[in-house]
A and B are shown apart, each in its own frame.
Chain A
């Protein structure tokens, strides 16, 4: 009994120790990102929004905020400088798009080349929905008409049988 108690304790201890270790790991990961200070809170929010929405071109599936690639660090610095120069969200996006193309935006704009991307989910959903509805309706219509036909046939048959019996 006592032995069981101690094993329980040690399992708990391991859990606690590993949680503590995980926390230290998280701290290490965070300490890599440079600390950025702005004069006001609006600029801070703008900076956060921009580095979350702009793509790191080297590691294409990460945004600037997540990436530690050299280019991402340089581009974060550039974003910071532009914001400190009083540039707006649109200015910074325009700066990046004019150099790296629309691919730099994680949220693609709505234009001629992206119209398929934006509209295809809705088109697909509507078409599948209408096919399902249409098929359901036509099948129920045929089945009801079939059963009516069947009923009439049976009715005729029964009547014929009864008549034959009567005779």
Chain B
């Protein structure tokens, strides 16, 4: 009896480990930036190249940074969902490694939910924010700290179950604080 117990125990242990491993998503890299100050940037806005949008001009309120590009197919899927945030929170678009005209046409076709959009043609701000898979969405609190990061397209359930509650909680503390 005893000689069968140990192989069985090892088999079960390895099975449990492998089964758990299957449930992990290797694409989801824990962000190094959570609960850290949002990196500084100052970019020309997409619509008016002579006007800048900076991190510091956004502080004092809860804001959402949505990284997108006109060449990004998943961004198009995400667009109607992200658009639901318009009016609920200050929504900043980061147009990542794109052409200005392409980006403006894309917004013209699909609607512009953003309160303002930064034009990050070289992707430098993207690197500072650790962007590696567009679209990405960051929630930043009123003190300028990144509180949540979503990698890949936001689905309706991501929006309802994660983003909206987090934003609402941060806005509530921003008001009382």
A93 within 8 A of B: no
A99 touches B33 (CB 8 A): yes
Q: Closest Cβ of chain A: how far from B24's Cβ, in Å?
A: 13
- In the complex, what distance in Å separates the CA atom of A2 from the CA atom of B11? 64
- In the complex, what distance in Å separates the CA atom of A57 from the CA atom of B129? 13
Q: Closest Cβ of chain B: how far from A74's Cβ, in Å?
A: 5
What are the nearest 5 A-B pairs in CB distance? A57-B132, A101-B32, A99-B130, A100-B130, A103-B29
- In the complex, what distance in Å separates the CA atom of A78 from the CA atom of B132? 14
B32 touches A58 (CB 8 A): no
106-149 of chain B: CB within 8 A of chain A: 122-123, 127-130, 132-133
Cβ contacts A to B, 28 pairs, < 8 Å: A57-B29, A57-B132, A57-B133, A58-B132, A58-B133, A60-B26, A60-B27, A70-B97, A71-B123, A71-B132, A74-B122, A74-B123, A74-B127, A98-B32, A99-B127, A99-B129, A99-B130, A100-B29, A100-B32, A100-B130, A100-B132, A101-B29, A101-B30, A101-B31, A101-B32, A101-B130, A102-B32, A103-B30
- In the complex, what distance in Å separates the CA atom of A60 from the CA atom of B133? 12
For B132, the chain A residues whose CB sits under 8 A away are: 57-58, 71, 100
- In the complex, what distance in Å separates the CA atom of A71 from the CA atom of B133? 9
Q: Count contacts between A and B, CB distance < 8 Å.
A: 35
Chain B residue at minimum C-beta to C-beta distance from A71: B132
Chain A residue at minimum C-beta to C-beta distance from B32: A101
Q: Closest Cβ of chain A: how far from B118's Cβ, in Å?
A: 17
A133 within 8 A of B: no
For A103, the chain B residues whose CB sits under 8 A away are: 29-30
Cβ proximity bits A69-82 to B, threshold 8 Å, 1 near / 0 not: 01100110010000
For B32, the chain A residues whose CB sits under 8 A away are: 97-102
For B31, the chain A residues whose CB sits under 8 A away are: 101
Chain B residues packing against A (C-beta within 8 Å): 26-27, 29-33, 97, 122-123, 127-130, 132-133
Q: A58-B133, A101-B32 are in contact. List 14 more A-B contacts (CB 8 A).
A: A57-B29, A60-B27, A74-B122, A78-B127, A99-B32, A99-B127, A99-B129, A99-B130, A100-B29, A101-B30, A101-B130, A102-B32, A103-B29, A103-B30
Chain B residue at minimum C-beta to C-beta distance from A100: B130
For B133, the chain A residues whose CB sits under 8 A away are: 57-58
Chain A residue at minimum C-beta to C-beta distance from B123: A74
Q: Closest Cβ of chain B: how far from A59's Cβ, in Å?
A: 10
- In the complex, what distance in Å separates the CA atom of A78 from the CA atom of B128? 11
- In the complex, what distance in Å separates the CA atom of A114 from the CA atom of B104? 45
Chain A residue at minimum C-beta to C-beta distance from B132: A57
B128 touches A99 (CB 8 A): yes
Given A57-B132, A58-B132, A100-B132 in contact, is the A75-B30 Cβ separation under 8 Å? Answer: no
Chain B residue at minimum C-beta to C-beta distance from A70: B97
Q: Closest Cβ of chain B: how far from A12's Cβ, in Å?
A: 47
37-70 of chain A: CB within 8 A of chain B: 57-58, 60, 70
75-126 of chain A: CB within 8 A of chain B: 75, 78, 97-103
Chain B residue at minimum C-beta to C-beta distance from A57: B132
- In the complex, what distance in Å separates the CA atom of A146 from the CA atom of B129? 72
Chain B residue at minimum C-beta to C-beta distance from A69: B132
B127 touches A75 (CB 8 A): yes
